[in-house]
Amino acid sequence: MTRVVSTSPQRPADVVADCPATPAEQVTRTVAESLAAQREWARSAAADRAAALTAMADAVAGHRRELADLVIREVGKPSTEALGEVSRTVAILRYYAQQCFEPVGETYPRAGGLDFTVRRPHGVAGLITPWNFPLAIPVWKAAPALACGNAVVLKPAPAATGCALRLAELFAPHLPEGLFSVVPGLGDAGAALVGSADVVSFTGSGAVGRTVAVAAAERGVPAQCEMGGLNASIVLPDADPDRAAAQIAAAAMGFAGQKCTATKRILVVGDAANFADALVAKVEALGVGDPADEGVAVGPVIDEAARQRVLAAADGKVLTGGGSPGGDGWFASPTVVTGLGQDAPLNTTEVFGPICTLTGVSTVDEALRMANSGTYGLVTALYSNDLDAALSFVDQCESGMVKVNAPTSGVDFHLPFGGEKESGYGGREQGKAALRFYSSSRTVQLG
């Protein structure tokens, strides 16, 4: 029998989870079996759903240190970020507990009658999630789905299987049996989930995301796919170089650059050499090593293949990094590369690791053109001390999110999240946008 095995990236001999891979036919059965629980859940009072989500939040909060240690061990996330992810997971559950009380429709004027809309759940939400936010991403998909009255079947990335199974254990006492299920598995399990769920949410690579979108469209079910980015930070001449460099270094290299919102391209208008010195100093000041150690900001990448992609991508003039600091795990040194053309692979293809490019340009228009080039469009950051000038460029950014004097990484869970072009497909995630995605609107007319 095929098995799903998750190992620690900083200690590859440490097996975190080892379980049978769920066969495709079992995934389909799990979806079908979830419908009975979903029908009862959808008929439950909003207060009951809110209470369940609140209890789930309390369960996560009560195991904060344990869950953070599991995240550190399984995916190599530095301790500070791991603890932050647990806190964010709690906050997401509490937020959507309150969203259970949101209005579910609108009324319209009509002589002699009543016209109104009401939103209802789709049924079973099939969630396919990555390993880099092993708690927060499953929950920011599952919480709004549950709040709307759906059941959830979660297929986590194999490298985050342990975190997903632990979440299911913590949630089980607070939800009806069969309402929240985890199906550890490989690609065939994910395909089976897309082929049977009533609504699909996916986060992962562009190639797989496009396959998911097509498969869902062929079945006529809603799908949202978040598929990464090649995010640019634009530094204008009047920006504070030290402040901008500190934020960009953290956004590019924190958690070994393994975030879809990580900065991958830095475009400096004017004196690039001066900014390069500031950036290199900030990057080299980041702590690199065992993610459990205090002060470490850059741990390992997720596996050996990921490390090899980072090392192979260090083409051009390397300002810092370009190798591996050694050790037993999958470590790659934080790397800044300059001197590459706009069409160089590192400027056109997302490398999920601690590596970015720095390019000097003459004008803001040129920087915006380069930032908008290519197929991705998730986040753009603009750094300037002139707020009016920065805001005047916001509309020219072809990305789903624009940050002004803030890093590309990070997003607030009460705001819509998603990208343009090949970074995103379907409805936005998080905030109230998620409630709209996980429910459909029905129009009712009373004569």
Residues designated as active site: 226, 260
What residue ranges in 122-274 does DSSP mark as E strands?
Answer: 124-129, 151-156, 180-182, 199-203, 223-226, 231-235, 263-269
425 - beta bridge partners?
225
Whole-angstrom Cα distance, residue 319 to residue 91? 39
Of 44, 45, 82, the residue nearest 63 (C-alpha): 82
Of 363, 367, 378, 446, the residue nearest 418 (C-alpha): 378
Q: Are 184 and 21 in contact (CB under 8 A)?
A: yes
- Cβ neighbours of residue 195 under 8 Å, at least 6 residues apart? 28, 215, 219
Helix (H) or strand (E) holding 8: none
367: which 2 tokens? 């920087």
Cα-based distances in Å from 332 to 174, 228, 298, 324, 353: 41, 20, 9, 4, 8
